[in-house]
A and B are shown apart, each in its own frame.
Chain A
Amino acid sequence: MKRTTYALLVTSAALAVVAVVSCGRQPSTASKELEVACFKGGYGIDFFEQAAREYEQSHPGVKIKVWGNPRVWEQLRPRFVAGNPPDLTYPGWGMDHWALVYEGQVIPLDEYLDSPPYGKAEGKWRDTFEPSLLELCQYQGKTYMLPYFFSMLGWWYNKEMFEQNGWKPPRTWSELLELCEKIKAKGIAPITYQGIYPAYAVSGFLIPWAISAGGIEAFDNAQNLVPGAWKSPAFLKAAQMMDELRRRGYFQEGANGMDHTGAQMEFLSGRAAMIPCGTWLHSEMRNVMPKGFRMGFMLPPILDDGKGDPTAVGIGIEPWMVPTKGKNRDVAIDFYKYMTSLEKAKQFVEAKGTLMSIRGSDAANFPEHLKEPVDVFRNAKTVWSVEYRQWYPKLGKAVEDATAALLAGDITPQQFVERLEQAAEATRQDKNIPKHTYTRGKAR
């Protein structure tokens, strides 16, 4: 048993390939049969299935098979290798999206984005998307992916606890320090975080504070691998802020050993007052949420004299794409146009309680916990997204490892930024890694 398991592990990659090569040789069936493979996360795939049934009804002769599961990317990899991918896919966060682009496995969509939206005779489909989100899907001037819903990153606070104690969500660093002292005096941990997955601390502390200290350029330069950007005064300042919270004991004790559900449970149970997390928090935890629990959303408190835009907000998308070797490209795109029509977008917002990348869809009715995030997004003059983690996964990992070490007090803020710059330098020097450049407000 053990040996078999071992052999399978050793060769899992190879095995998967062997297993699907045979599938790849099956003859393609009727030409109007569409296969849509989706990541099945917190929002399920029922909405996409429903859209497929509707589309089938208005398009006789088209059959759409929608399928998905929580680790769909593992099944999609061998399908791509075998040259037998689905017609349309939402491969989920576990897929290395850009590798698909580098390998020519997904098509550039600009030609279609310039055609009219679903059911319209004129106008451009492109203009129906939130432009700041569409920008994230581009490489060397072409658009390879399309956003659907998006998440916002920020901090959540326990509304009930704040109201009972007369606390206000802190907007600045000095307000934060003052509030943390009061919370701590009550025997409650001011801030908890998902220590085993340091990505939460990166997007919840490090990046917003680097932006606050150095302006959005500080982060854009870092993502663009400008030499020295990762050890700039802005990143050093952000690291010092994290270190200060740790030294003052404002982070929950033991948070460095908690996974995301563990830390989030601490927040829901009232043992911690604030937590950094995206707008998915509510749907992720709804099954274990105490009855009547109310949570409020806020941007991470900014430096009192910070250079950055105080309205800057972090967002994240999970894109869809059209495989090059799909058999029904035009139908796939038309179906996705249908899914992104304003009507469907509004339905998605109401059914799933999340924000959508389609302009005007925020006129839909949001659930209570999303009203604040929507306001924050409407007011935001600057939008940022953690792209380097997708572009350069190794750099992403190095930043997260260093963040874990910083939050554990194993390294100083100065050592921390040195490590980040070193990792950025390694990425710069690696000629096998394709490089991205992001110019704000323009197509890349």
Chain B
Amino acid sequence: MTPRARAAFITGFLLPATTLYAVFVVMPVVQAFAFSLYRWRGISANRTFIGLENFRHLFADPIVWMALRHNLLLFVGTSTAILVVSLALAHAIGSDSRAARLLRSVYLFPQVISLVVVAILWMFILNPSFGILNAALKAVGLERWAIAWLGEKPTALASIGVAHVWHALGFYIMLFAAALRTIPPDVIEAATLDGAMGLTRLRYVTLPLLWAVLRIALVYMAIGTMNIFSLVFLMTQGGPDRATEVMLTYLYEQAFKHSEFGYATALAVVNFVLVMALSGAILALFRHNPQEGKA
């Protein structure tokens, strides 16, 4: 094949996907940037150009900052939990015990069920009257701990975090389990012979070899928590008293409840930039594997 024919061949394959992406992803994003400069109720074609007014308003809006803090708290909290639990479970399902086989057949289950179902399931678990969590707490004598998890300011966000972790876990177990399989057994064996066991082996051998996957996993977690919507919307509506408000629930409120489509698009633009920045920061921070070149 001549280089030219080869180029045509490749273009032919890329064109449909690129076109679809351009029309349905790139174009709306560009349009969103334009809409964010208008005051627009989103219910007629009338729009008033107001320049950067929406953005000025946005940076002075305390609820935006509150929502952003909740997103970041969710990111830090859930990614720590996901990393620890999914690494442990990914390691565990690598063995050949009966428990590991069972785990292998179920771990992806929460990931494949719809988020709506996840929300309802957790609302049942956390139900203050008949939920199993409070029933369990009462059964072991911790009556005082049996509270309205989603209705109390201090616990509502954490409860949503738990549901998010439960849902997301399967994906990361899969990711890490696959990555663990790529570590040659002789490396582990050599490390073991050198006396590296348990946490030491994890820190100096396993984690460095998983570095690239960890980096990508963190980016995914950042995107997942910055764009969290369904769970919050279904479980708490951003309440009580905005204790679980996140960027996208606030965006939805502005657009559909308050008919502030211009402002909502400005929020979308800011969220977009923040996700890009956060992902970029993670990629940059974790560019260099600390163990590389040490050996």
For residue A262, give the distance in angstroms from its CB to the closest CB of chain B. Answer: 6
A397–B32 contact, CB under 8 A? no
**Does B55 reach chain A (CB closer than 8 Å)?**
no
Q: Does B97 contact A (CB under 8 A)?
A: no
A2 lies within 8 A of B224 (CB): yes
Inter-chain contact total with CB atoms closer than 8 Å: 154
Q: Are A408 and B153 in contact (CB under 8 A)?
A: yes
A252 partner residues in chain B, CB cutoff 8 A: 129
Residues on the A chain within 8 Å of B28, using CB: 7, 11, 14-15, 18
Q: Are A105 and B43 in contact (CB under 8 A)?
A: yes
Contact (Cβ within 8 A) B275 A6: yes
**Residues in chain B near residue A432, CB distance under 8 A:** 39
* A256 to B149 CA separation, bound complex (whole angstroms): 9
Bound form: Cα–Cα A256–B255 in Å: 26
Stretch in contact with the other chain, from B73-81, B174-182, B260-268: B260-268
Contact of B123 with A by CB under 8 A: yes
Among A4, A7, A404, the residue within 8 A (CB) of B240 is: A404
Contact A404 B39 (CB under 8 A): no
Name, among A8, A100, A196, the residue most crowded by chain B CB atoms within 10 Å (CB to CB): A196
Using Cβ atoms and an 8 Å threshold, which residues of chain B touch A227? Answer: none
Residues of B112-154 whose CB lies within 8 A of A: 123, 126-129, 134, 147-153
Residue in A7, A77, A99, A271 whose CB lies within 8 Å of B29: A7
* Residues of chain A with a CB closer than 8 A to B128's CB: 253-255, 257-258
Q: Decide if B150 touches A96 in the complex (CB within 8 Å).
A: no
**B: interface residue count bin:** 35 or more
Mark contacts of A378-410 with chain B using CB atoms, 8 A cut-off: 1 yes-contact digit, 0 otherwise.
000000000000000110010001101100101
Q: Report the Cα distance A271→B42, complex, angstroms.
A: 44
The digit string for B237-258, where 1 denotes a CB below 8 A from any CB of A, is: 1011110000010000101111
Residues in A1-51 with C-beta less than 8 Å from chain B:
2-11, 13-15, 17-18
A99 contacts across to B, CB distance below 8 A: 41, 43, 259
Task: Pick the most buried of A10, A100, A397: most chain B CB atoms within 10 A of its CB.
Answer: A10
A7 nearest in chain B by CB position: B25
What count of chain A residues pass the 8 Å CB interface test?
54
Considering the complex, give the chain A residue whose CB is closest to the CB of B268: A10
Closest to A11 in B: B28
Complex-state Cα separation, A100 to B126, whole angstroms: 40
Q: Looking across the interface, which residue of chain B has its beta carbon closest to that of A3? A: B223
Does B289 count as interface, using CB distance less than 8 angstroms? no
Among A7, A105, A197, A262, which residue has its beta carbon within 8 angstroms of that of B127?
Answer: A262
Note all chain A residues with C-beta closer than 8 A to B151: 195-196, 254-258, 408
B220 sits at the interface (CB 8 A): yes
Nearest chain-B residue to A403 (Cβ)? B241
| Given A10-B268, A256-B148, A397-B257: A104 touches B44 (CB 8 Å cut-off) | yes
A250 at interface by CB-CB < 8 Å:
no
**A122 neighbours in B (Cβ, 8 Å):** none
Contacts of B253 in A (CB 8 A): 397
Q: What is the chain B residue whose CB lies nearest that of A411?
A: B241
Q: A10-B29, A11-B31, A11-B268 are in contact. Are A195 and B44 (CB under 8 A)?
A: no
Greatest chain A CB density within 10 A among B31, B153, B242, B256 is at B256
Q: What 0/1 pattern do residues 157 to 171 of A give for CB contact below 8 A with B?
A: 000000000000000
Given contacts A9-B229, A195-B240, are A96 and B148 in contact (CB under 8 A)?
A: no
| CB–CB B258/A96 < 8 A | yes
The answer to whether A14 and B32 have CB atoms under 8 Å apart is: yes
Residues in A with CB closer than 8 Å to B149 are 257
Indicate whether A408 sits within 8 Å of B240 (C-beta atoms), given known contacts A257-B150, A432-B39. Answer: yes
A8 CA to B272 CA in the complex, in Å?
A: 11
Chain B positions 1-51 with a Cβ under 8 Å from a chain A Cβ? 24-25, 27-29, 31-32, 35, 39, 41-46
- A70-106 vs B, CB cutoff 8 Å, 1 = contact: the mask equals 0000100100111100000000001010011011110
Q: Is A362 an interface residue (CB 8 A)?
A: no
Cβ-defined partner of A13 (8 Å) among B27, B257, B264, B271: B264
A266 sits at the interface (CB 8 A): yes
**Contact B239 A196, beta carbon cutoff 8 Å:** yes
In the assembled complex, the CB of A275 is this many whole angstroms from the nearest CB of chain B, namely 13
The CA of A7 and the CA of B256, in the complex, are separated in Å by 18
- A32–chain B nearest beta-carbon distance, Å: 26
The reply to whether B43 and A96 contact each other, CB–CB distance below 8 Å, is yes
Per-residue interface assignment for chain A, residues 246 to 287, with 1 indicating a CB less than 8 Å from any chain B CB and 0 otherwise = 000000111111110010001000010000000000000000
Are B258 and A393 in contact, with the CB atoms below 8 A?
yes
A314 at the interface (CB under 8 A from B): no
Q: Are A10 and B129 also in contact (CB < 8 A) when A256-B240, A257-B149 are?
A: no
Q: What residues of chain A have their CB less than 8 Å away from a CB belonging to chain B?
A: 2-11, 13-15, 17-18, 74, 77, 80-83, 94, 96, 99-100, 102-105, 195-198, 252-259, 262, 266, 271, 393-394, 397, 401-402, 404-405, 408, 410, 432
13 pairs from A and B in contact (CB 8 Å cutoff): A9-B229, A11-B31, A13-B32, A13-B261, A80-B43, A81-B45, A82-B45, A195-B148, A257-B152, A393-B257, A393-B259, A394-B258, A401-B239
The 6 A-B pairs of least Cβ separation, nearest first, read: A254-B128, A257-B151, A257-B148, A256-B151, A11-B28, A254-B148
